[in-house]
């Protein structure tokens, strides 16, 4: 989705590109020196203008409008970039385009009326100076857009229209291990908490079509205002994407957190989200307690087939409800 955003050049790079192209411009030789210099300088000015304008316009066109995005992306970007700064940067770039165009017009007109080669060369240099300083003025905005691009490039590619299962739970309970078993995603798995730092998307191909499986960063049981940016991404996935939440508990407590704390988080999630929740106990190879929940081991694969059946049951019910709506 965000792959089309072009690399953002620095102000210096744009200026270099502008002059490099202008330098190559040639016009047919003519005995009328004044006429020839006029044509040459105007052609150079227009080339410099075209390079700057096309480079900058592309940014304005290709950087997406945050307000037109799916609410998940809108909220995610709100969390990860300064939306006002982003909008202002694009507006400044648009402003620069207008200024460069109008200076190009003005100086080409002046050159047409110039009476000597010296005047023509002076006017051309003046245009170059003006255009360069406009581009230098927007150097911070170009730098900021470059940073936003890096953030956008790393955003997960979500398809909001397809059925989506979000895997949630405390840190280190085995969410990523499960997502890896269930889907095409290859998340990092490690024996310490907060391994997953963003939303990771995988797919599962089923009879009902493609399903999205989303790995989320671990959540601690604490109020939203205390949550860090990493945890907040998990909350956004639950809020905007989940058709079903698979909530993983780790009764072995090898994750480093008590089962009690994990269950408290589960209750909070039940209270905060009106999405169906499937509670699953992981690490059954280490500990299997008596409870009403499905027991699996994401590591050995035990019980994972059963989990897939349960997920498919929910997907079928959901699809039927949707068909009747
Ligand atoms: N014995 C056993 N270990 C498991 C099982 N599932 C996961 N683990 C281990 O638990 C540790 C954490 O697994 P992850 O999948 O990274 O956990 P996570 O919930 O994604 O963790 P965060 O991304 O930090 O929130 C890793 O060392 C896994 O190998 C399981 O079923 N049995
Ligand atoms: Mg993880």
Tens-place pLDDT, residues 194-243: 999 999 999 999 887 899 999 999 999 998 889 999 999 999 999 999 99
Tens-place pLDDT, residues 170-204: 999 999 999 999 999 999 999 999 999 999 999 99
Residues 239, 110: one domain? no
**Residues with Cβ within 8 Å of residue 110, at least 6 apart in sequence:** 123
Residues 71, 216: one domain? no
Helix (H) or strand (E) holding 215: strand 209-215
Residues 211, 320: one domain? yes
Q: What is the pLDDT of residue 150?
A: 94
Show the CA angle centred on residue 69, arms to residues 194 and 67, nearest 5°.
110
Residues 67, 22: one domain? yes
Structure tokens at 253: 């407590």
Residues 176, 222: one domain? yes
Dist. CA 194 → ligand 1 center (Å): 11
Per the structure, the count of domains in the chain is 2
Residues 117, 174: one domain? no
Domain containing residue 196: CATH number: 3.40.50.300
Tens-place pLDDT, residues 119-148: 999 999 999 999 999 999 999 999 999 999
Residues 16, 91: one domain? yes
| Best mutation site among 172, 181, 265 for ligand 1 pocket (most ligand atoms within 8 Å of CB) | 172
- pTM for the model stands at 0.86
Residues 43, 191: one domain? no
Q: Is 283 in the pocket of ligand 1 (CB under 6 A)?
A: yes
Give the span between the Cα atoms of 35 and 47, in whole angstroms: 18
DSSP state of 68: G
CB 243 within 8 A of CB 312: no
Measured N-to-C along each axis, helices 175-182 and 304-324 cross at an angle, to the nearest 10 degrees, of 70
Residues 57, 190: one domain? no
* Residue with tokens 């402003």, as numbered in its chain: 95
Q: Encode 155-170: b = buried (16+ Cβ within 10 Å), e = exposed.
A: bbebeeeebbbbbbbb
The answer to whether position 89 is within a domain reads yes
CB 128 within 8 A of CB 209: no
Which domain range does residue 266 map to? 164-324
Residues 114, 255: one domain? no
In order of 27, 41, 60, the CA distances from 17 in angstroms are 20, 17, 19
What confidence tier does 35 reach under pLDDT thresholds 50, 70, 90?
Answer: very high
Which atom of ligand 1 has the smallest separation from the CA of 189? 16
Tens-place pLDDT, residues 150-171: 999 989 999 988 999 999 999 9
Determine the average pLDDT of the residues in 90-98: 98
The answer to whether position 159 is within a domain reads no
Q: How many CB atoms lie within 10 A of CB 258?
A: 12
In order of 23, 43, 123, the CA distances from 117 in angstroms are 17, 15, 10
Give the span between the Cα atoms of 207 and 315, in whole angstroms: 11
Dist. CA 169 → ligand 2 center (Å): 10
Q: Is 172 in the pocket of ligand 1 (CB under 6 A)?
A: yes
The answer to whether position 237 is within a domain reads yes
Q: Is 189 in the pocket of ligand 1 (CB under 6 A)?
A: yes
Determine the average pLDDT of the residues in 261-276: 96
Instruction: Tell me the percentage of the chain whose pLDDT exceeds 70.
Output: 98
Domain containing residue 142: CATH number: 1.20.120.1190
Q: Is 217 in the pocket of ligand 1 (CB under 6 A)?
A: yes
Tens-place pLDDT, residues 287-310: 999 999 999 999 999 999 999 999
Comparing 2-11, 54-63, 210-219, 238-247, which segment has the lowest mean pLDDT?
2-11
Q: What is the pLDDT of residue 246?
A: 98
Give the span between the Cα atoms of 134 and 98, in whole angstroms: 10
Q: Is 91 in the pocket of ligand 1 (CB under 6 A)?
A: no
Is residue 118 predicted with pLDDT exceeding 90?
Answer: yes
Residues 102, 178: one domain? no
């Amino acid at each position: 989705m965000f792959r089309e955003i072009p690399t953002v050049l620095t102000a210096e790079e744009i200026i270099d590109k502008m002059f490099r192209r202008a330098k190559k411009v040639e016009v047919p030789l003519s005995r009328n020196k004044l006429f020839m210099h006029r044509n040459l300088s105007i052609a150079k000015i227009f080339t410099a203008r075209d390079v700057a304008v096309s480079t900058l316009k592309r940014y304005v066109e290709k950087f997406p409008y945050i307000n037109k995005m799916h609410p998940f992306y809108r909220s995610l970007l709100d969390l990860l970039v300064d939306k006002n700064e982003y909008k202002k940067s694009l507006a400044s770039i648009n402003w620069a385009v207008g200024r460069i165009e109008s200076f190009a017009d003005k100086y080409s007109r002046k050159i047409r009326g110039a009476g000597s080669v010296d005047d023509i060369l002076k006017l051309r240099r003046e245009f170059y100076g003006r255009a360069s300083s406009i581009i230098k003025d927007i150097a911070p905005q170009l730098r900021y857009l470059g940073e936003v691009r890096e953030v956008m490039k790393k955003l997960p590619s979500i398809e909001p229209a397809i059925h989506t299962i979000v895997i949630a739970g405390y840190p280190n309970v085995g969410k990523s291990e499960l997502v890896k078993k269930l889907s095409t995603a290859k998340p990092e798995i490690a024996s310490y908490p907060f391994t997953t730092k963003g939303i990771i998307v995988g797919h599962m191909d089923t009879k009902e079509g493609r399903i999205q499986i989303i790995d989320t960063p671990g959540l601690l049981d604490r109020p939203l205002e205390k949550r860090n940016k990493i945890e907040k991404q998990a909350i956004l996935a639950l809020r905007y994407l989940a058709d079903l939440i698979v909530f993983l508990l780790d009764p072995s407590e090898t994750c480093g957190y008590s089962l009690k704390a994990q269950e408290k988080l589960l209750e909070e999630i039940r209270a905060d989200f009106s999405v169906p929740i499937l509670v699953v106990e992981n690490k059954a190879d280490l500990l299997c307690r008596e409870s009403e929940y499905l027991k699996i081991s994401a590591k050995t694969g035990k019980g994972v087939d059963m989990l897939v059946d349960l997920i498919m049951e929910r997907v079928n019910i959901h699809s039927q409800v949707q068909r009747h709506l």
